[in-house]
Amino acid sequence: MSETSRNLSASCLVASPFDESLIQQAASACLKELGTDPDLVIAFVTSDYGPHLKALIQTLQIDGHAATIVGGSASGLAGVGREQEQISGMTLLFLKMPSTAVHVSSEIGKRRGADAAVVLCNPLNVSFNSILNDWNEQLPAVPLVGGSVTGGPDENDLFIFTAEGKCKKDKIFVGFEGGVRLEPLVSPGCRSIGKPFVITAARGNEVLSLGQREPFTILEEAFESLGEEMQIEAEGNIFAGLAIEEEIDEFKSGDFHIHQIVSATLNDGRLMLGAPVRVGQTMQFQLRDPLAAESLLESECRRIKDKSGTPFASLLFMGQGRGKQLFGAEDRNIRVFEDVFGQTPLAGLYSYSEVGTVASKHLRHSQSVCGVLFYSQE
């Protein structure tokens, strides 16, 4: 099989403020490694690259021979062997997929022919609930992975872009049809604390009652079940977990998709979450925990490798709280990933919210790693 007839990838991470000569070198290096013109280039850049987007895109087109480009802003980046927080730079993923049709659009309806899709969103303007509701209704069998861009502090520091420049739309869908298989990876960063309860009263994003009791009282009980030292670490690190599948005899960490607790109303114990809730869902509080985050990510990576082997490329969306703040060291997500799969081309960013498909459900996640692993179709 010739190089130009099989799926190929190349990637690089540049930790530097915008420098056209460095971008030229990076694009040329990826093109050389690929050995042929790319069908798609994915680029994540820090916010200070925003004023230079036109020059960046032109350089990728000229020196990287890129015709189709998608990307967005990021407060932190990932590449082979590295995660970079609070720096200036960019990460690139070049993909050559000879038998794959790549469709870029801001509309869900235009993705009907896709076998899988990646979504990039601007969190200031987009309604995740609307996206996921529409996707679950229109394309329930099509895996969807992605997340929101990051950056800041100004709202103009958050952006998504294509080969035409910065997008006015709040989302981009990249559909893949034929030739490749996209394997979703979803790994939360929390462990369960307290006991699971069924939501017995709810309104919109508000949990009004858990097991016929005030939700805040149950949250206090879960907090008090932790040791004194752990209680100190738990401040600001407790989230709500909604069961992904209800038909489970005994829930464990990893069986929940994680959401922020936005606020609490102390006079009646209501909790507002970062996602809609409904009566009958099982909810259990979750503690953001570095050991659990590493263990769950390793377990999910090994499950995928046992099933599918090593991907030829990967794209990772990592919850913004999963960096040095959580682990006390850099590169932990990437190191766990590469301990299982080895060093293969990849690009990633830290996101406000992640999107990933679990048990055929397309869900919004928080404090998770949501990735898409690229495999050649058999």
Please tell me which residue, 248 or 93, carries the higher pLDDT value.
Answer: 93
Mean pLDDT of 141-164: 92
Query: What average pLDDT does the structure give for the chain?
Result: 92
Question: What is the pLDDT, as a whole number, of residue 303?
Answer: 96
Question: What is the pLDDT, as a whole number, of residue 48?
Answer: 96
**What CA–CA distance (Å, rounded) separates 274 from 260?**
5
Q: Quick count: other Cβ atoms within 10 Å of Cβ 154?
A: 9
Q: Residue 80's pLDDT band (boundaries 50, 70, 90)?
A: very high
Q: Residue 251's pLDDT band (boundaries 50, 70, 90)?
A: confident
- Please report the DSSP string for 120-167 in residue order: EE-TTT--HHHHHHHHHHH-TTS-EEEEE----SSGGG--EEETTEE-
Q: What is the pLDDT of residues 304-328, one digit of tens each?
A: 999 999 999 999 999 988 988 889 8
Token representation of residue 346? 């990849």
Domain ranges of the chain: 3-187+294-376, 195-288
Question: What is the pLDDT, as a whole number, of residue 112?
Answer: 59
Question: What is the pLDDT, as a whole number, of residue 111?
Answer: 55
Q: Is the pLDDT of residue 237 over 90?
A: no
Question: What is the pLDDT, as a whole number, of residue 109?
Answer: 61
266 Cβ contact list (under 8 Å, min separation 6):
216
- Counting residues of the chain whose pLDDT is more than 90, the rounded percentage is 70
pTM of the model: 0.90
Question: What is the pLDDT, as a whole number, of residue 206?
Answer: 96
Q: Is the pLDDT of residue 1 over 50?
A: no
Q: Is the pLDDT of residue 2 over 60?
A: no
Q: What is the dihedral of CA 293, 191, 289, 215, to 10 degrees?
A: 140
Question: How many H-runs (helices) and E-runs (strands) does the chain carry?
Answer: 8, 26
241 Cβ contact list (under 8 Å, min separation 6):
188, 190, 192, 255, 256, 257, 258, 259, 283, 284, 285, 286
Q: Is the pLDDT of residue 364 over 90?
A: no
Q: Which residue carries 């960063």 as its tokens?
A: 189
Q: Please answer whether residues 257 and 187 qualify as being in contact, where contact means their C-beta atoms are separated by less than 8 angstroms.
A: no
Q: How many Å from the N-terminal Cα to the C-terminal Cα in the chain?
A: 14
Question: What is the pLDDT, as a whole number, of residue 110?
Answer: 57
